[in-house]
Chain A
Amino acid sequence: MTTLTAPMNLAPASTGCLICDTVNEPGTVVCTTCGAPMALVQDSVAQERTPCIITVIGDSNVGKTVYLGMLLDMLSKRADDFDAVPKGAYSVNLQHTVISYLGARQFPPKTAMEVDEWQWAYYQVSHQNHGANVYDLVMPDMAGEALAAEVASPNTFAVIRSLLQKSAGAVMLVDAALAAAGSPQPDFFALKLMTYLDGVRASKRNQKIKTPVAVVLSKADYCPECCDSPRNFAKTNLNRLWNMCENRFERFDFFAASVVGALGYGSDDAQNVVPYPLHIAPRGILEPFEWVLSQLGH
């Protein structure tokens, strides 16, 4: 889940939670209502900017943790002339975890559903070629199961609704490998997410949603054809999602992304197939992020 704070130069007077606005007791570390870290509030107050949020969403095991960790790492390494400064040491945990595991040729552990187990990051991001604009990027690495539970039964996880309500944009990950293999699951789950987002964001049914949504076809290394034309891939393999986007969303686009260059496979004691990332070859990680930033100015 990603949150961007646009440079609006408004001083946030409230000490309420950045995500759900609940006013917590002084000294509270985790919001009593939504579980978001209160350090975000202190850091955002220090920046004197009112946040606008971009949310990264997707099904369980679609690759959100790896995508977010890699994105943050690339930003902090000044990829594509971006400059990113973490606001608080806790912000580095996610990329640290992801890069460490990938370096050890393992995928990072599964993200727990418990809100207080999610890792959050707060970065100040700027682009050297885009003037003086500075974005405050806040993101939790959210469990896909929590999102699925919230979509299936709204208000199961209040933090998700609050995040989406405050989002100025969204990055939605869809498992391209599964979709290419003919599974309807990625298409249906993405359709549900977009419907949920539509319900959260819609003001009038006949007006399209203005929130920009970047649909990231994750695990593109499994199906290189999606890199050639993500839109065509989506039209073919994620047709329900494509139609929903066309019908209800004013600004959307499709991107292909992958993090690993080659995979090896083994099995565990329970005969589960265990994939091992043999080497890291990030591709298409920054483009969706850049596109969302570009849409925020419109």
Chain B
Amino acid sequence: MPTTLACEQAVFTSIRTPTGEGYRIIAASRGLKPEEKQTITRYSPSHDALCGGPQGEAPYGAAFYPLPSGRLCVAYSCLAGAEHTGRGGERVYTYNLVFPAEDFPSCGYNPFAVLRAMSRAGLAEPQLHPPATLPEVSLEITEADLSPAGAELCRAFAAPWRDHCLESLLNARTLVVNLPDRWIETMEAMLIGVPGPMRSRFSFGAGLKFSVGRCHNLALLADDPAATRKKLLGRPIAYVDPGDGRAPNPSASQWVSFVERHWSRADFTNLLPRTSLAFSDTTPQALERIGRLYNETDAVSETETGELIDLAASHLVEPEDGVEADLAARLLLKAQTAITERFRRATWGVLQGDWEALGAAWRRGEEGRLFAQPIIETGLRAVAARDPMVAAEAALGLTRNMPLAAARAGFDDLLDEILNTLAAWIERAPDDRMADVGRLVKRWRAARPACGILDRIEHQCLAGAGIDSRG
């Protein structure tokens, strides 16, 4: 659904006016606070600060950072003609949009949605003679803006490198990454790998040369590696150069492996909504839990039934809440659907090994019953269709310690259905099975002393054996 963002604007570039010349904020909305302007001035690129464009394209860059006021700034930088002093070089033009952090969730926690909307509205086009006071902008963000259409991973940014970078970012480390091209596209792909609520505290620069005064959490750039490394010496900033040196060890993080699975398929469309949920806890421990939930959910179809039941059972007892509870519920539903489908086609020989564990899950509280009961019902019916004796035997095991809610939820009707199937089968069953049936019915009697269906089965058994039941 389209959303409208109320933004303040600021233009930072170098022009000559009656009151001054050189790089500065040449136009801004009235609502921008002095400390916000100060930060924008410090973070905006000036002369020769853009990385060269790939394959001769004009250089451009983007940045995103929180301001001291708590508001967020999205900036787009490009070249805007020759520098007016005639001292060589191109003028760098930066358009900044400032909006409240509370509106960030409505942008899908994605500053690139704001960048796309900004571009679509023509705001990023250089205006070298704007009025000194700019109006507040109502920026419409459409569905198309929200989709991660521009995301793309730079070819040189292979899995071990990008995984290492993502893991470092999640652990609040600061990184400068040397990439040959696709800085903005790669930045969006990287950002999508960061949980949505964390992104409002995150800052980045893409396509901007590194500067100590413009130290973002993540900078993607192409610059002289030796010069950049020199600036970083003694700073808690890691320099990552995928084109130089040994690849880092593969990440063991659950969250990173979840993100990498999407990255490796260039599947940003499905990754974005999954990482952009309103996670209330984004500590490393919580992210590991969430990553595990996603990994387990995605692996359901390849996971053995027994493992799935154990997995479900483990989530039935974990005190998850908020988004994690929703994700766990989705995992349980997917596991339930998968197991049910397997049980629909399976024989007792296949089901038998998992039946006890399933029964245990069924008896583990109301959530366990809700998870296991549909599977049990499907399994019993499937087995009953092939071998009613075995189905009745399996059903009998479930009558012990049956959850009260199960009876209320029609489980007794299912048992009647299984026994009716058995009764119908007896009519055409071979005589040598009658003794087995008789023993089974006796055991059923202990569970259901006054059951009409059992009476009928007993009667049929005796008739089959040539004994008059009335006698």
A interface residues (Cβ-Cβ under 8 A, vs B):
24-30, 32, 35, 38, 59-61, 106-117, 143-145, 148-149, 152-153, 155-157, 185, 188-189, 268-270, 272-275
Residue B449 CB within 8 A of the other chain: no
Contact A110-B83, Cβ < 8 Å, known A116-B231, A145-B22: yes
In the complex, per-residue mask of B166-182: 1 if CB is within 8 Å of any chain A CB, else 0: 00000000000000000
Which residues of B sit under 8 angstroms from A106, Cβ to Cβ? 87-88
Which residues of B sit under 8 angstroms from A143, Cβ to Cβ? 22-23, 46
Q: Is the CB of A112 within 8 A of B47?
A: yes
Q: Complex Cα distance A71/B84, Å?
A: 26
Q: Is the CB of B87 within 8 A of A108?
A: yes
Residue B138 CB within 8 A of the other chain: no
Cβ-closest chain A residue relative to B85:
A61
Contact A148-B211, Cβ < 8 Å, known A32-B235, A153-B41: no
Q: Is the CB of A272 within 8 A of B46?
A: no
Cβ-closest chain A residue relative to B84:
A272
Q: Is the CB of A113 within 8 A of B23?
A: yes
Residue B48 CB within 8 A of the other chain: yes
Q: Complex Cα distance A115/B88, Å?
A: 20
Cβ-closest chain B residue relative to A147:
B22
- Which of B13-21, B347-355, B370-378 contacts its partner? B13-21
Which residues of A sit under 8 angstroms from B45, Cβ to Cβ? 114
Residue B345 CB within 8 A of the other chain: no
Contact A155-B231, Cβ < 8 Å, known A109-B87, A144-B22: no
Q: Complex Cα distance A28/B214, Å?
A: 17
Residue B37 CB within 8 A of the other chain: yes
Which residues of B sit under 8 angstroms from A156, Cβ to Cβ? 38, 41-42
Which residues of B sit under 8 angstroms from A115, Cβ to Cβ? 211-213
Cβ-closest chain A residue relative to B237:
A32
Q: Complex Cα distance A83/B22, Å?
A: 35
Which residues of A sit under 8 angstroms from B235, Cβ to Cβ? 25, 28, 32
8 A-B pairs closest in CB distance: A28-B234, A60-B22, A274-B86, A113-B46, A114-B211, A25-B234, A145-B22, A270-B82
Residue B81 CB within 8 A of the other chain: yes
Which residues of A sit under 8 angstroms from B212, Cβ to Cβ? 30, 32, 35, 114-116
In the complex, per-residue mask of B245-279: 1 if CB is within 8 Å of any chain A CB, else 0: 00000000000000000000000000000000000
Contact A114-B18, Cβ < 8 Å, known A32-B235, A107-B87, A268-B86: no
Which residues of A sit under 8 angstroms from B42, Cβ to Cβ? 156-157
* B-side interface mostly: loop
What would 10 A/B residue contacts be, using CB atoms closer than 8 Å? A112-B48, A112-B49, A115-B211, A115-B213, A116-B231, A152-B24, A153-B38, A157-B42, A270-B84, A272-B86
Q: Complex Cα distance A115/B235, Å?
A: 16
Residue B243 CB within 8 A of the other chain: no
Q: Is the CB of B48 within 8 A of A109?
A: yes
Which residues of B sit under 8 angstroms from A25, Cβ to Cβ? 234-235
Q: Complex Cα distance A145/B44, Å?
A: 12
B interface residues (Cβ-Cβ under 8 A, vs A):
14, 18-24, 34, 37-38, 41-42, 45-49, 81-89, 209, 211-214, 230-231, 233-235
Which residues of A sit under 8 angstroms from B48, Cβ to Cβ? 109, 112, 117
Residue of B18, B82, B209, B214 near A268 (CB, 8 A) is B82
Cβ-closest chain B residue relative to A184:
B18
Q: Which of B18, B34, B83, B211 has the most C-beta atoms of chain A within 10 angstroms of its own C-beta?
A: B211
Q: Complex Cα distance A189/B24, Å?
A: 14
Residue of A28, A149, A157 near B24 (CB, 8 A) is A149
Q: Is the CB of A114 within 8 A of B46?
A: yes
Cβ-closest chain B residue relative to A178:
B21
Known interface pairs A114-B49, A153-B38; 5 further A-B residue pairs with C-beta atoms within 8 A, sorted by A's residue number: A28-B234, A116-B213, A117-B211, A157-B213, A185-B18
Cβ-closest chain B residue relative to A273:
B86
Tell me the smallest distance from the CB of B362 to a CB of chain A, in Å: 60
Which residues of B sit under 8 angstroms from A116, Cβ to Cβ? 211-213, 231
Q: Complex Cα distance A157/B212, Å?
A: 12
Residue of B18, B47, B85, B234 near A32 (CB, 8 A) is B234
Q: Complex Cα distance A143/B231, Å?
A: 19
Which residues of A sit under 8 angstroms from B87, Cβ to Cβ? 61, 106-110
Q: Complex Cα distance A112/B84, Å?
A: 14
Q: Complex Cα distance A157/B43, Å?
A: 11
Q: Is the CB of B230 within 8 A of A29?
A: yes
Tell me the smallest distance from the CB of B63 to a CB of chain A, in Å: 13
Q: Complex Cα distance A107/B89, Å?
A: 12
Cβ-closest chain A residue relative to B45:
A114
Cβ-closest chain A residue relative to B25:
A149
Residue of A27, A32, A110, A144 near B89 (CB, 8 A) is A110
Q: Which of B18, B21, B45 has the most C-beta atoms of chain A within 10 angstroms of its own C-beta?
A: B21
Q: Complex Cα distance A185/B42, Å?
A: 24
Cβ-closest chain A residue relative to B213:
A115
Q: Is the CB of A26 within 8 A of B47?
A: no
Q: Complex Cα distance A116/B235, Å?
A: 14
Tell me the smallest distance from the CB of A187 to a CB of chain B, in Å: 12
Q: Complex Cα distance A270/B86, Å?
A: 10
Tell me the smallest distance from the CB of B134 to a CB of chain A, in Å: 18
Q: Complex Cα distance A60/B24, Å?
A: 11
Which residues of B sit under 8 angstroms from A27, Cβ to Cβ? 233-234
Which residues of B sit under 8 angstroms from A155, Cβ to Cβ? 38
Q: Is the CB of B47 within 8 A of A109?
A: yes
Contact A112-B46, Cβ < 8 Å, known A30-B231, A145-B24: yes
Tell me the smallest distance from the CB of B10 to a CB of chain A, in Å: 13
Q: Complex Cα distance A275/B86, Å?
A: 7
Tell me the smallest distance from the CB of A15 to a CB of chain B, in Å: 11
Q: Complex Cα distance A199/B19, Å?
A: 22
Q: Complex Cα distance A111/B47, Å?
A: 7
Which residues of A sit under 8 angstroms from B47, Cβ to Cβ? 109-113
Q: Complex Cα distance A209/B84, Å?
A: 37
Cβ-closest chain A residue relative to B41:
A149
Residue of A26, A114, A269 near B234 (CB, 8 A) is A26
Tell me the smallest distance from the CB of A106 to a CB of chain B, in Å: 7
Q: Complex Cα distance A231/B34, Å?
A: 37
Cβ-closest chain A residue relative to B16:
A61
Tell me the smallest distance from the CB of A224 to a CB of chain B, in Å: 23
Q: Is the CB of A153 within 8 A of B37?
A: yes
Tell me the smallest distance from the CB of A73 to a CB of chain B, in Å: 19
Which residues of A sit under 8 angstroms from B21, Cβ to Cβ? 59-61
Q: Which of A35, A272, A274 has the most C-beta atoms of chain B within 10 angstroms of its own C-beta?
A: A272
Q: Complex Cα distance A274/B83, Å?
A: 10
Q: Which of B23, B48, B81, B82 has the most C-beta atoms of chain A within 10 angstroms of its own C-beta?
A: B23
Q: Complex Cα distance A272/B48, Å?
A: 18
